[in-house]
Structure 1
Amino acid sequence: MLSKELPGILECWYHPPRNQHKGRRPVGACQNLQKFTIKCMADLLEYEIEHIAPLFTSPPDKLSQAHLTSFNFKDFIKKVSAGAPVLWDVLEHLVFSAKQQAHNTHKRPAMVILHLILQAQYTRSHRWGRVTKLWAIYLKACGLSAHAFDALHRLGIVMSHKWAANVYGSLSSRAMEEVREDIQRLPWVISHDNVNIPMRVFSQRLHNKSHLNW
């Protein structure tokens, strides 16, 4: 089993040579090897995606401004690719062909591969939505509409609009509370005429309308 000739034997079984280069190529063990390969790869990829799952966890108590702003995509990509090398290599071959690698010297599919993995993680468990939560909060801050949120949520890229609205509101309230505390303990100067705080709500009601605080 440790022989250096084993890869050549498997290749011969997978693509048997023609007899004197005439007629159809023998079928050999092509179908059986494919089934065996699929099973082996499925087991290996299952192990790797479970192995890197803790990287995608995000406890509710860590949804703070400091935690969100400290996230680094480059460092995270290094951790994911190191923790699941086979999965990363397979996806890289799927999204970036050898021809592209030869011609595209600047374009790299790392972010695409990462988001394919994070979609798979989020589909397997909502507890593994660390990056999904980051995108939800960011796009909520950018003013993404609720319908667009629902579309991206179905794709497993962001959390639901309701979740994003609740967390964004909590972060906003926490930031405003910090401002109030700073005003109490620090000297401050403010121009009243320029303090305009728009308060917008997603679903307006008679008792819950968007308004502008002066």
Structure 2
Amino acid sequence: MMTNLFNVFDPSSSIFNFSLNWLSTFLGIFLIPSIYWLMPSRYYIFWNKILFTLHKEFKILLTPMSMNGSTFIFVSLFSMILFNNFMGLFPYIFTSTSHLTLTLTLALPLWMSFMLFGWINNTQHMFTHLVPQGTPSILMPFMVCIETISNMIRPGTLAVRLTANMIAGHLLLTLLGNTGSSMMTIMVSFLIIAQIALLILESAVAMIQSYVFAVLMTLYSSEIN
């Protein structure tokens, strides 16, 4: 029995203290049909075009000094978040990206590794990022504090942005769906139309948020070179 609306996002079902809801994170693998691995097909061509477009765009965002193959990290990150966002749109499937546990797990280690690599290998370059060009001398100490704080909160803002967008749409769908039993028959038809429109909007949000997460991570990594 659901005692609270937020119980929808509560990963409470478990066996031997292992939460089964988190297994939905791996359900995205089943979206890739077996024919994708065997021979070229429409799925293969469609998905390959998406990955190739992302690879070219991330290559532009990254500096020429970046390591070869860096784009594959961010393309894989985009694919994982996209699959998990779409999985949450199906009924009775746990949305793992609506929890800070997963989003922080993705954002924090990547950001930390970028920072460690940058400060160890390009220390002088990282110091120059703390003071924007053209800053008056009297404002330099304040700008260093502001830039340091804005840099420190980056993984948190990345994680919260993805989590909040996933929770907001799902809550709205849940709230509207729960009012259907108390509505008149005529109003139910309008409710269904509204739910379909929201579902389309949530599909767009799922794609946009996974793209934004991957692009921002690419931009953060481009600053260390």
CA radius of gyration, larger in: 1
After TM superposition, the score normalised by the length of structure 2 is 0.28
After TM superposition, the score normalised by the length of structure 1 is 0.29
Larger RCO: Structure 1 or Structure 2 (Cα < 8 Å, ≥ 6 residues apart)? 2
Structure number having the greater helix percentage: 2
